[in-house]
Structure 1
């Protein structure tokens, strides 16, 4: 039995039951396939509610959050944890799983491992000095995992292919394959590299490719090459009169500090558009 993933991490196929073929099933705690922010925010709410609750109150199909800070959380204790995706959010999932007391931990990255040093000669890397260096970095979660398990938890050039069921509706493994980037920039699977990794809890920390397109199409907004709403930081105006764009829907997935900065900027532009002084 397996659940097949699409490129957003949603489960789209249940191979042993034709009733669920081609249906979209959101990750949740019943399957033990969860979104990173669901995992992290429930953990934080449990701490806000009552620190000891973190050790005793696990979210199960029968027990959920009882209030805004109800104390329920998704526990990684004693589980084989797979974190799919990296960045700051993936690192926080690694660190939180370690603090829960996970049994094992692995982190899948789709892209190849970055170099240890930046190309200072400006050659084919596309990331010459003085651009921000895209290099291998070790964050707190990676360091802690290395200390506990003896190795960095990150595995690069890995494509997650299937979630494997335990027969009772919960994940027990993730099937993967190694990938290579071809001359055309597309990923190609490496023949014979398939593996199955044990997994009692899968955390999806993959971000997103672009904002949802329904509103973009409805408003007929011009977009950039990555399907983000096209707008300049000078005024945040889109191609549609009276429509402004800021944050992730304009610049793509990024840090919250950029969202705060652009939120302030677009508020100033909207105020000026409505006849104010623009602060």
Structure 2
């Protein structure tokens, strides 16, 4: 999406090591397979830029600003398998814009502890796919907390759909598209 909107270059930092091509012995079925994947965004970026945009085992340390306080870059350091900094690997990357994606495993536990919603095997809230209702009346779930980690465009779309259904539930009808 960023490249389609005119981004000149794109880098995706990943703190963890590159996943293996196939399941590791400590990741048997039926656990979610932690394997190397190339989704359409990575493939598109690799095609446009000539290489995979992901850089593994790298940690963001500090934002760099110009004299006026505007973002102009980020300082990173490489890390080992225990996420310890590797001395001498600091690097400054130029940047006009930085998005932070902190990862997502499942919804916050305290929400479900307070409400008692049904969850799936991965800890996501179970909700009807048509109206986004959960097992708790007047509580809805959409996007990542229902499906698991996904693309932001899907989250936006599902959020709009859920808002429409909530409006219909509260008002008896909806004017939302």
| Bin for the TM-score computed over the shorter chain | 0.5 to 0.7
Q: Does the CA-based 8 Å contact 1:229-1:250 persist in structure 2?
A: no
The Cα shift of 1:155 comes to 0.1
Per the alignment, do residues 251 and 138 of structure 1 end up closer, same or farther by CA in structure 2, a change over 3 Å counting? closer
> Structure with the greater relative contact order (CA < 8 A, sep ≥ 6): 1 or 2?
1
Partner of 2:174: none
Matched, 1:161 2:69: no
- Output the CA distance in 2 between the equivalents of 1:101 and 1:236: 39
Q: Deviations over 1:39-88 (max 9, x none)?
A: xxxxxxxxxxxxxxxxxxxxxxxxxxxxxxxxxxxxxxxxxxxxxxxxxx
Paired residues, what number?
151
Matches within 5 A, 1:147-186: 147-182=47-82
Match of 1:204 among 80, 87, 100: 100
Q: Does the CA-based 8 Å contact 1:177-1:189 persist in structure 2?
A: yes
Greater share of strand residues, 1 or 2?
1
Q: Does the CA-based 8 Å contact 1:160-1:176 persist in structure 2?
A: yes
Which SS does the other structure have where 2:4 is aligned? helix
Q: Deviations over 1:123-147 (max 9, x none)?
A: 22x1x35766433233344334434
Which SS does the other structure have where 1:202 is aligned? coil
- Output the CA distance in 2 between the equivalents of 1:244 and 1:132: 27
Which SS does the other structure have where 1:167 is aligned? coil
Match of 1:137 among 18, 37, 46: 37
The Cα shift of 1:191 comes to 3.3
The Cα shift of 1:105 comes to 2.9
Q: CA RMSD in A?
A: 4.3
Matched, 1:123 2:25: yes
Partner of 1:114: 19
Which SS does the other structure have where 1:220 is aligned? helix
Gaps of 5+ in 2: 170-177
Partner of 1:34: none
- Output the CA distance in 2 between the equivalents of 1:132 and 1:210: 13
Q: Does the CA-based 8 Å contact 1:108-1:155 persist in structure 2?
A: yes
Partner of 1:96: 4
Q: Does the CA-based 8 Å contact 2:77-2:85 persist in structure 1?
A: yes
Matched, 1:246 2:146: no
